[in-house]
C-alpha cells in the first residue's frame, strides 16, 4: 500500500487529507478528448473479462466514490497489472493521483505508457501534454534551460500531432516565455484563443498573455469562473483592474469563525476601492451555509466549493487560507491560518493599483458584479 501524508500547516487551521476529492494538477482547462474511433470495432482483450481485473476496477470506483483517491489508485494499479499494462483507464487514474501527490517520475512513466497505447492523433496529443506537465513539474520551480527545451520539444510534437489542442498551445506559450522567446509565445497564446470555447475561463487569460506574454513569467492563480451566491459570475481574469482577495473557509471551522470579524473589517475599510473579495466555502450543507451568511451579515461575494475542485486547483489544503492577486491576476501572496497579515498586503496592492490606474473624472468603468461605478477624484466610488 502506498503511504502518503499531508503536513498540517498549523494547529490553528484545518486541513483535508486523502478523504478529500482528487483532481489533476491545476492547468488551463483541456477540451474533452474524443474516444478512439476504432475502439468499438476492436474485440475486447481477454483481460477485460478477467474476474481479478473486474474486481480491482470495481474496488477502485467504489473508493473514488468515497473520495479515497490514494487507495483507488492502488486498486487501479492492481487492475493494470492484471491487464499487462494495457488499461488506459487505469493508467489515466494513476497519472492523476501521481501528479496530485507530486510523484512526478511515476506520473511521467504512466503518461508515457498511455501515449504508447493510443492511436488517434487527438488522444496522442493530449497525453503528450500530460507528459510535458509531468516533466515540467519534475524540473521544479527553477527549471534549467535544457529541461525547458525538452518540455518544449514534447509540446511541439503534441501540437504537430493535433493542432487544435488548445491546452498544449497554452502550455507551449508559457514554456516559450520562460525560454525568453516572447514573440513565439504570443503566437501560441493567440492560437490557444482560437481553439478555446467562448465560455472557457482560460480563454480570457490566453488573450491577456497574447497581448503581454511576459505575464506568463509570473506565478498566477488558476484561471476559473464560478457562479457566486448572488447569481453573479466571477472570473479572475475579468476583474477589470481590481485587486482580488480569495478566502477559503467553512462555517464549521473554528479558526475561520475567529477570522470573520477581521474579514468584515477588511470589507468595510476598503469599501469603494478597487478590491473584490471572494470567499470560497467548504460547506456541504447549503442551507447551513446560506443561514450563516445571512445571520452574520456577510456582504461580499460567496461561493460554495462542494467538490473541492477550486480548492484543489488553488492548492488550498487547509483553512482559513488566503490568496491575494494583483490587477493582472498575478498571485502576490498566499497566507495560511489565522493571524495572517492580509490587510497589510491589500494596502500595498491597492496603493499600486491606484498609481497605475488613476481615476478619471466622469469615466464609467464596469465593476465585477456587473454594476456601473462612476470614478470621481477625491470621492468614494458611488454604485448605481
* pLDDT tens across the length of the chain (384 residues): 333 332 223 334 454 332 222 223 333 333 334 444 444 457 889 999 999 999 999 999 999 888 788 899 999 999 999 999 999 999 999 999 898 888 999 999 999 999 999 999 999 999 999 999 999 999 998 999 999 999 999 999 999 999 999 999 999 999 999 999 999 999 999 999 999 988 888 898 999 999 999 999 998 888 889 999 999 999 988 887 899 999 999 999 999 999 999 999 999 999 999 999 999 999 999 999 999 999 999 999 999 998 888 988 888 888 999 999 998 888 888 888 766 678 888 999 999 888 876 543 333 333 443 333 323 233 333 333
* pLDDT score of 378: 34
Q: Give residue 17's pLDDT.
A: 35
- State the Cα–Cα distance between residues 134 and 111, nearest whole angstrom: 8
Can you read off the three cell numbers belonging to residue 118? 493510443
C-alpha separations of 254 from 216, 335, 337 in Å: 37, 17, 11
Termini Cα distance of the chain: 59
Contacts of 352 by beta carbon, 8 Å cutoff, 6+ apart:
326, 327
All domains in the chain, ordered by first residue: 45-217 (1.25.40.10), 225-357 (3.40.30.10)
Whether the Cβ atoms of residue 330 and residue 214 lie closer than 8 Å to each other: no
C-alpha cell at 297: 451579515
Contacts of 146 (CB under 8 A, 6+ apart): none
Q: What are phi and psi of 348, to 5 degrees?
A: -70, -45
pTM: 0.72
- Look at residue 357 in the predicted model and tell me its pLDDT: 64
Residue 325 is placed in which grid cell?
A: 492577486
If residue 205 lies in a helix (H) or strand (E), which one and from where to where? Answer: helix 201-211
Rg over alpha carbons for the chain, rounded to the nearest Å, is 23
* Exposure on the CB side of residue 36, measured as CA atoms within 13 A: 18
CB of 75 closer than 8 Å to CB of 56: yes
Question: β-pairing, 301-304 with 318-319?
Answer: unpaired
Query: 274, 357 in Cβ contact below 8 A?
Result: yes
Amino acid at each position: 500500500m502506498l503511504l502518503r501524508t499531508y503536513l498540517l500547516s498549523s494547529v490553528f487551521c484545518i486541513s483535508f487529507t486523502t478523504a478529500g476529492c482528487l483532481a489533476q494538477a491545476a492547468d488551463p482547462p483541456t477540451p474533452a478528448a474524443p474516444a478512439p474511433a476504432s475502439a468499438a470495432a476492436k474485440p475486447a482483450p481477454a483481460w477485460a473479462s478477467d474476474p481479478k481485473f473486474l474486481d480491482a476496477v470495481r474496488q477502485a470506483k467504489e473508493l473514488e466514490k468515497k473520495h479515497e483517491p490514494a487507495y483507488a489508485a492502488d486498486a487501479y494499479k492492481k487492475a493494470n497489472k492484471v491487464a499487462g499494462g494495457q488499461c488506459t483507464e487505469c493508467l489515466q487514474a494513476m497519472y492523476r493521483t501521481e501528479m496530485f501527490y507530486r510523484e512526478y517520475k511515476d506520473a511521467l512513466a504512466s503518461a508515457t505508457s498511455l501515449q504508447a497505447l493510443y492511436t488517434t492523433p487527438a488522444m496522442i496529443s493530449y497525453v503528450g501534454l500530460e507528459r510535458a506537465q509531468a516533466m515540467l513539474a519534475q524540473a521544479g520551480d527553477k527549471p534549467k534551460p535544457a529541461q525547458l527545451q525538452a518540455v518544449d520539444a514534447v509540446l511541439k510534437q503534441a501540437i504537430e500531432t493535433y493542432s487544435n489542442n488548445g491546452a498544449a498551445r497554452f502550455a507551449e506559450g508559457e514554456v516559450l516565455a520562460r525560454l525568453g522567446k516572447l514573440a513565439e509565445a504570443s503566437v501560441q497564446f493567440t492560437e490557444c484563443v482560437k481553439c478555446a470555447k467562448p465560455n472557457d475561463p482560460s480563454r480570457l487569460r490566453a488573450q491577456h498573455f497574447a497581448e503581454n506574454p511576459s505575464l506568463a513569467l509570473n506565478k498566477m492563480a488558476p484561471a476559473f469562473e464560478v457562479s457566486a451566491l448572488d447569481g453573479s459570475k466571477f472570473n479572475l481574469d475579468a476583474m477589470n483592474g481590481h485587486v482580488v482577495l480569495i478566502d477559503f473557509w467553512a462555517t464549521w471551522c473554528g479558526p475561520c469563525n475567529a477570522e470573520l470579524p477581521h474579514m468584515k473589517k477588511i470589507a468595510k475599510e476598503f469599501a469603494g476601492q478597487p478590491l473584490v473579495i471572494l470567499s470560497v466555502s467548504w460547506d456541504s450543507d447549503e442551507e447551513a451555509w446560506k443561514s450563516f451568511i445571512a445571520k452574520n451579515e456577510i456582504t461580499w461575494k460567496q461561493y460554495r466549493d462542494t467538490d473541492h475542485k477550486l480548492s484543489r486547483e488553488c492548492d488550498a489544503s487547509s483553512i482559513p487560507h488566503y490568496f491575494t492577486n494583483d490587477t493582472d491576476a498575478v498571485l502576490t501572496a498566499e497566507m495560511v491560518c489565522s493571524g495572517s497579515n492580509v490587510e497589510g498586503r491589500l494596502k500595498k496592492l491597492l496603493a499600486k493599483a491606484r498609481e497605475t490606474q488613476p481615476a478619471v473624472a466622469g469615466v464609467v468603468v464596469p465593476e465585477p458584479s456587473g454594476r456601473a461605478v462612476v470614478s470621481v477624484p477625491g470621492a468614494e466610488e458611488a454604485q448605481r
